[in-house]
Amino acid sequence: MKRFILIVLLASFTLATQAQTNVVQDPPRRNLNRVDFQRKLETHRVAYINTRLDLTEAEANAFWPLYTKYVSELEAIRLNNCLYPDEMPQGVRMGDRVGSMSDKEAGAVLDAHLKMEADILALKDRYFKEFEKVLPVQKVATLYFVEREFMSRLMRRGPNSNIDRPRNNWPQGRGRRR
């Protein structure tokens, strides 16, 4: 009889611990590779900018090839100025790493970062002049803010959100969300 009670207790204890482990599960991760994610992100960026700038067909036909070239040059600047890409452990940001560097190394990182920012500013200045040739000045002035707004809204959605799921009429939204 004692053996029977012991077996029943062990079985119920095992079932109870198994039930508890099944309650807390991580949400399923999407299996998007980097290329697919960037493609989806770019599709959403195009839709958002088209909507917010209210581009006509003629404006869009002239603007998008130029904008695509601008984005690819911007990415090239960022990739060329990437500091220690092979040495960085995944999940560690450069700002976290700078605290453990010598003053000389930190100064070199700062100089490289400022050079990259200057290159980006020069690129934006050059392309915004090109954009003014194909779009009204008001739309060109709005473009910078629309790009920042898109990224801000994307970051607010969080890393595990589904980019395809609309949230609060996302592409149509105007202004800050409270």
Predicted confidence (pLDDT) per residue in 76-89, tens digit = 998 887 655 555 54
DSSP string for 83-143: -STTTSPTT--HHHHHTTS-HHHHHHHHHHHHHHHHHHHHHHHHHHHHHHHHS-HHHHHHH
What pLDDT shows up at residue 72? 92
Structure tokens at 101: 């560097």
pLDDT in tens, 135-169: 999 999 999 899 999 888 888 876 555 555 555 55
For residues 42 and 22, which has the higher predicted lDDT (pLDDT)?
42
What's phi and psi for 107, nearest 5 deg? -65, -40
The model's pTM is 0.64
For residues 124 and 25, which has the higher predicted lDDT (pLDDT)?
124
Tally of residues, the chain: 178
- How far apart are the C-alpha atoms of 45 and 43, rounded to whole Å? 5
Long-range CB contacts for residues 51-54, cutoff 8 Å, separation at least 24: 51/171, 51/172, 52/142, 52/146, 52/149, 52/171, 52/174, 53/135, 53/139, 53/142, 53/143, 53/146, 54/139
What pLDDT shows up at residue 132? 94
